[in-house]
Amino acid sequence: MTPYGGDESDPRVTGDMIHSYLQTYAEKHDLLRRIRFNTFVVGTVQTSSGWRLTIKDSEDVVETEKLLVATGVTSIPSMPDFKQTGTAIPRIHSRDLGTFYPAIEDSEVKSVIVVGAAKSAYDAVYLLLKMGKKVTWVIRTEGGGPLSILPFKILNTVNAIAFASTRLMTFLSPSILNADGTMPWLFQRTMLGRWCVGRFWDFLDYVSKKHAGYDSGDHVKMLEPEIERQGVFWAHSGLGVVTLPDFWKTLHDDRLTVIRDEIDETKENTALLKSGKTLNADYIIMCTGWGDHFAMFDDENKSKIGLPHHSASAREVHVVNWDRFDAMADEEVNKQLPFLAKPPKLTFQRPLSSGDQEKWRLYRRVVPMGLEERGDRSLAILGQIHTVQTPLVSEVQSLWAILYLEGEIKIPNTETMAKEVALWNAWTRKRYLGQGRKFPYSLYDFLPYIDTLFKDLNLKSRRKSNPVSELLSPYRPDDFNGFVDEYLRKRDATTGEISK
């Protein structure tokens, strides 16, 4: 039977299935009584004994010795503002599409504008076309442009995500966490190896473009990623995977118009665009991404923790000379992974130096460096790494972070931490261009990250039964079943304790 209420004839995982899984998990592990639902944290300050949290619309405070922040990346909408005169056109963020579904489905809503060009926008456009609406998709010119999209099955045979989860992929996708050893040397530091890597991604890009039908002579041409080569490799605007069989067919429908422009203002039911053009619309869906998920910290704390902030004075809180480490890391990544040294041309070129990158300074993407330097293990950050394997990464990262807070993980000195952080940042910026500039992006590279965390835990992350499977069989969460018990057994064997 399909677990959590799924449909046996349909392998896709629905929102209801995920909800049912989380509910069952919480019940089974007696978590419900420990959760405060509908509680939004607006302030977090450090006290002599830990952290004090303040709650929205409440006098309550929560005091805690240790704090794990897992606020995700897609809860706080980014909603660009524009002038509105007269009755405003109803306008919602992609986050709220589910809530407003019945209102948008109404037959009075005939034309809808969608803003943004990444995965939420593609999904919104698909949904609206399936509802029978006329859609105008407004994509700004000064940005990353449309994202690259892989077919679910490459040449109708190989599952794209499964292939991306093989160890072979760790050699085809240059990663700074996987630069040592014979295979990385062969693939990344020989001309022949790099040639093979390049042709592999050329092929995958070609297949993806064919699948989309950019050259079929209609408006879908406007959705072609604006990058010179290998769009599905660089994932400059992110990466999507088509999971619905009629996805591209639906987007080719002539009820869709794609324009490159920006909304300046709305007047009654008309949107005025920067170019001077006007559009009539009954609804606007803003698929414009996400805001600050760490707004509960002020800039000074953000700087100390190693979270992005834009305050020049808070920047000085740090003791590390980041300019020196960033320059070193830039050179080191080019040397170790020459494939990344020469980025492809982008239609809208934007500076991609370390100075233009968001300042994520978390050791192993978890540890607040400024606190760790003082021996303060009261805070850890989770979930700020973007990969194709969220469930597995979350599980392993959570154990690692808890052990860190408990003092069980050995952390190196500040110099070594700073080097690790700078190398990661230089790598993600060069590897994923626009996405790496904004986030700790690591799309295809979740296995080297798992390897690194497992090594810290003294656990074995090569879990297949033979070398062929190790190279070609996709890694799935169940390959790592039991790793928490493995850790506890090893630890207790070392300390002479018996685990329950």
Ligand X SMILES: Cc1cc2nc3c(=O)[nH]c(=O)nc-3n(C[C@H](O)[C@H](O)[C@H](O)COP(=O)(O)OP(=O)(O)OC[C@H]3O[C@@H](n4cnc5c(N)ncnc54)[C@H](O)[C@@H]3O)c2cc1C
* Interface residues toward ligand NAP, by CB under 6 A: 74, 80, 94, 115-121, 123, 140, 143-144, 237-238, 262, 287-290, 386
Distance CA 337, CA 24 (A): 44
Residues 6 or more apart from 23 whose CB is under 8 A from it? none
- Distance in Å, CB of 221 to ligand X, minimum: 26
- Look up residue 34 and give its two tokens: 């420990």
Residue showing the smallest CB distance to ligand NAP in the complex: 143
Q: Cβ of residue 174: shortest distance to ligand NAP, in angstroms?
A: 21
- Residue 118: which of ligand X, ligand NAP, none does it interact with, CB under 5 to 8 A by kind? ligand NAP
Which of ligand NAP, ligand X, none sits in contact with 237, Cβ below 5 to 8 A by type?
ligand NAP
Binds 238, which of ligand X, ligand NAP, none (CB < 5 to 8 A, cut-off by type)? ligand NAP
Q: How far apart are CA 411 and CA 356, in angstroms?
A: 28
Interhelix angle 390-405/446-456, nearest 10 degrees = 30
The structure tokens listed for 357 are: 């990158």
Classify residue 41 by burial, with Cβ atoms within 10 Å: 0-12, 13-18, 19+. Answer: middle
* Piece of the chain touching ligand X by CB under 6 A; list 67-75, 133-141, 223-231, 303-311: 67-75
In 14-60, where do the E strands start and end? 41-47, 50-55
Q: Which of 75, 78, 275, 311 binds ligand X (CB under 6 A)?
A: 75
The beta strands (E) that lie in 17-115 are given as 41-47, 50-55, 61-64, 67-69, 83-85, 91-93, 111-115
CB 116 → ligand X: shortest distance, Å? Answer: 12
Question: Up-side HSE of residue 334: CA atoms within 13 Å toward CB?
Answer: 9
> Closer CB to ligand NAP, residue 167 or residue 236?
236
Size of the site for ligand X (CB under 6 A): 12
**CA dist., res. 137 & res. 232, Å (int):** 22
Q: Dig out the tokens for 161 from the structure.
A: 């995500």
Residue 74 makes contact with ligand X by CB under 6 A:
yes
Alpha carbons 91 and 82: distance in angstroms, whole number:
11
| Residue 41 lies near ligand X (rule: CB under 6 A) | yes
Report the partner that residue 82 touches, choosing among ligand X, ligand NAP, none (CB closer than 5 to 8 A by kind).
Answer: none
Name which of 41 and 259 has its Cβ closer to ligand X: 41
DSSP state, 288? -
Nearer to ligand NAP, 97 or 154 (CB): 97
> In terms of CB distance, is 51 or 449 closer to ligand NAP?
449
Helix 390-405 vs helix 483-495: angle between axes, to the nearest 10 degrees? 20
Instruction: For ligand NAP, give the closer residue by CB, 70 or 327.
Output: 70
Residue 289, binding choice from ligand NAP, ligand X, none, Cβ under 5 to 8 Å by partner class: ligand NAP
Question: Minimal distance in Å, beta carbon 147 to ligand X?
Answer: 13
What is d(CA 474, CA 459) in angstroms, rounded to the nearest whole number? 19
Task: Show the binding pattern over residues 376-405: x = contacts ligand X (CB under 6 A), - = does not.
Answer: -------x------x---------------
Q: How many whole angstroms separate alpha carbon 7 and alpha carbon 253?
A: 29
Binding flag, residue 67, ligand X (CB under 6 A): no
Residues 260-319 binding ligand X (CB under 6 A) are 293, 296
Q: Which is nearer to ligand X, 96 or 268 (CB)?
A: 96
Q: Closer to ligand NAP at the Cβ: 138 or 296? A: 138
Q: Is 24 in the site for ligand X (CB under 6 A)?
A: no
- For residue 23, state whether it binds ligand X (rule: CB under 6 A): no
The conformation of residue 466, written as its DSSP 8-state character, comes to S
Among ligand NAP, ligand X, none, partner that 14 touches (CB below 5 to 8 angstroms by kind): none
**Do the beta carbons of residue 439 and residue 384 sit within 8 Å?**
yes
> In this complex, which beta carbon is closest to ligand NAP, that of residue 358 or of residue 486?
358
Name the nearest CA neighbour of 423 among 356, 321, 355, 354.
Answer: 354
Judged by beta carbon, residue 70 or residue 352, the one nearer ligand X is: 70
Task: Give the CA count within 13 Å in the CB-facing half-sphere of 186.
Answer: 8
Q: Closest-CB residue for ligand X?
A: 72
Q: Which does 431 bind (CB under 5 to 8 A by kind): ligand NAP, ligand X, none?
A: none
Beta bridge partners of 45: 52
Residue among 46, 54, 64, 71 that touches ligand X (CB under 6 A): 71
- Whichever of 346 and 450 has its CB closer to ligand NAP, that residue is 346
DSSP letter for each residue of 402-435: HHHHTT-S----HHHHHHHHHHHHHHHHHHHHHH
* Selection from 163, 111, 139 nearest residue 279 by Cα: 111
Q: Give the three-class secondary structure for 268.
A: coil
* 3-state secondary structure at position 303: helix
Q: Which residue lies nearer to ligand X by CB, 300 or 395? A: 395
Given the rule CB under 6 A, which residues bind ligand X?
40-41, 70-72, 74-75, 120, 293, 296, 383, 390
